[in-house]
Amino acid sequence: MLKDHGNNHRELELTHGNLHVFANDEVFAQLDQKVFQMADNNLQIPRSLHMSYTPDAHVGIGTCIGTTAVWGMKDGFVSPSIVGSDIGCGMRLHLTGLREEDLRGRQVRRELVQAVEKFVPVNERSTSRYSDIRLENVVKEGIKGLPQKYVPDAYTPRSTRSLTHVETARFKYDTDFLGEIPDKVWGRAWGQLGTLGGGNHFIEFQRVEISEQKRDVAEAWGLFDGQIVVMIHSGSRAWGGMMGARYIKDFKRAMQKWGVGTPDPNLVYAPIDSDEGHRYINLMYSALNFAVANRHMIAYGVLQGLKEFAGNDAEMPVLYDLMHNYALKEVHRNQPMLVHRKGTTRALPPGHFMNAAPYRKTGHPALIPGSMGTASYIMVGEKAGEKNFHSICHGAGRLRSRRATKELVTVDAFSRSMKVGTDEEIVVNQNTLESILDESPQAYKDVDQIIDSVEGAGLAKVVARCKPLAVIKGV
């Protein structure tokens, strides 16, 4: 049974509960039937307070990417499957003083990419350049655990953007649980700090186009038309990946002991107050600390490359850093709740008490990437977003799997979408496009339709549209 609430908001009555879907007619019609079966599986977890899909929803492991799921802290559940394997994966955006004319010409953009690659390892097997950073401090303290040389603005009274212009700079938790982490994980994760990783992770130089409707907000944030910004997408690398494999096994054993389950063996859960739930939540927060520090260090490397390209006076202040794979303790409807976001982005409206202090008045930037051949967006939450616990999309969302993309999309089609050989070419750091064919724009949904769905639902509004000029992908 389907109830249409209007404004791109549908509520489906499934066998085990209700699913809210925020999508326009075109996007809703494209949703695979499997996503609804996966939602019904998720709804078999007891005492769910809310479950929804944003318009970028697509099939994932155990749970669809694009899911928001909420339980009360008092008697609720936590699910690693509804957090995702790349815990703390998220977005970061930096401002620069460059203008679009400074990156005119393919060769100029290529020189910028090559300069950045000197300072940011992009190979999947690359090791960190930062031997002076203690991983223990990072997973305990997040950005606050980095040495002063990497966070100089945190140690001066005039500016603290590195710590204030982020969703959270440090997640507090019971660090005694770190004693359970195997030595090999410590070694591998330490070697990955400040590295990009593969898959859909990227560094992208983009040109800003301000939305007239939100020009006052854009200007308050320091954005202007034609400005060059840097968008970064990465997560917790091996540190978070370790938990996806290790603790899902723990949850499965516990569920067998309790005699509970779902039709999908990849969907696991436990009570928040169980030993398994308590351990997972605490160690998940350590992965969030790694993820935010990792993006910070990637940005540090990008800045070194930018200085080599544009001169030592180049600056790159952070606009915002936020995540889209986590379970956060939040207060909604005057009650403490555990909000799972798997491939969804928190978008708080102006005046909301959970906003970072610099964005209390305007609402914070919500960063929504497209694909390397299409625009990305900077949005701001609307008050009506409370109907979805202030969650919006996290990107365009995959239209087809990696395997299907390789089978259906040609390198020539990919090349045309990147405008290869023209003055408008979107420069990529790979020698051949074939190596990243599964990340081509054709693999993703139409991001403009995704954004239309979010705006039409009243969840958030566009502040700026950002067109890609140069992309650095990990392999």
Residue 370 marked as a ligand binder: yes
Residue 324 marked as a ligand binder: yes
Residue 81 marked as a ligand binder: no
* Residue 22 identity: F
CA–CA distance, 334 with 337 (Å, rounded to integer): 9
Residue 20 marked as a ligand binder: no
- Residues 109-112: contacts with CB under 8 Å, at least 24 apart: 109/205, 109/425, 109/427, 109/469, 109/470, 110/427, 110/470, 111/309, 112/205, 112/305, 112/306, 112/309, 112/470
Active-site positions read 394
Query: What is the CB neighbour count within 10 angstroms for residue 44?
Result: 18
Joined together, the tokens standing for residue 151 give 């966070």
Joined together, the tokens standing for residue 132 give 């002076």
Residue 369 marked as a ligand binder: yes
Residue 202 marked as a ligand binder: yes
Residue 200 marked as a ligand binder: yes
Residue 376 marked as a ligand binder: yes
Q: Do 430 and 437 contact (CB within 8 A), yes or no?
A: no
CA–CA distance, 253 with 259 (Å, rounded to integer): 10
Residue 396 marked as a ligand binder: yes
Residue 394 marked as a ligand binder: yes
Residue 298 marked as a ligand binder: no
User: Which residue, among 27, 356, 324, has the nearest Cα to 168 in the 3D structure?
Assistant: 356
Q: CA separation (Å) from 11 to 21, 53, 332, 392, 393? A: 6, 10, 20, 16, 17
Residue 204 marked as a ligand binder: yes
Residue 415 marked as a ligand binder: no
Residue 325 marked as a ligand binder: yes
Known binding-site residues equal: 86, 200-204, 233, 324-325, 369-372, 376, 394-397, 473
Known binding-site residues for GMP equal: 200-204, 324-325, 369-372, 376, 394-397, 473
Known binding-site residues for Mn(2+) equal: 86, 201, 233, 324
